[in-house]
Copies of this chain bind each other. A is one copy, B any other.
């Protein structure tokens, strides 16, 4: 039997769509662009593309992200697979990924070749297809994970101040936190290394810079502990 058993089954188009989150010191933004092909040409859309033959899913997500935005080496996580969508009468499965981007490093994207625009989460326009559903799911996932894994740091530069970190968490959860309680909790994990530098961009006094201590985190993980906010 040279023909595989399953060759009688149907094959499907599979797309990968990326929900790209960024943080601009103030609020969470999503990278969108205006769709340039039918159907729904001109509508706000996530960045997506098609899975190619023999291309593994994670690679496809990375490739699409890189091709369309220039970003590479960023945090990417598979979110969910949407199978109800129909386009042109033929269904296209969409595997959604969400990406977390340090906007400082990649701010050059704004207004670039692909009409990519950072849009604040609170001002999200209508999106094409089921993309809004994807964004909402991604946001729920981000909220859940940010409390139990150190993924928030992906949205910040390597060195960051505590006030900045707090702003980030406040943006993610859409609520304010008490400064003292926040510091107490985040520092008590022992996963932030305080540096001798200060960042004076935010105040006259300046705030100390910190760095996430990945080594310590891996140690904690292997002891069965971890990051828990």
Contact = CB atoms under 8 A, between A and B. Distances in A.
Interface of A: 1, 4-6, 9-15, 37-38, 50-54, 56-58, 60, 78, 80-84, 87-88, 90-93, 95
A12 B12 CA distance: 5
Contacts of A38: 1, 5
A14 B93 contact: yes
A81 B95 contact: yes
A50 B6 contact: yes
Interface SS majority for chain A? mixed
B78 A81 contact: yes
B4 A88 contact: yes
Given A78-B81, A95-B81, A11 B9 contact: no
21 contacts: A1-B38, A4-B87, A4-B90, A5-B37, A6-B15, A9-B13, A10-B50, A10-B52, A10-B53, A11-B11, A11-B13, A11-B14, A12-B12, A14-B14, A14-B93, A53-B91, A56-B84, A57-B81, A58-B84, A60-B83, A78-B81
A10 B15 CA distance: 10
Nearest to A4: B88
A-B interface, 3 closest residue pairs, ranked by CB to CB distance from nearest: A57-B83, A11-B11, A9-B50
A4 B87 CA distance: 9
Contacts of A1: 38
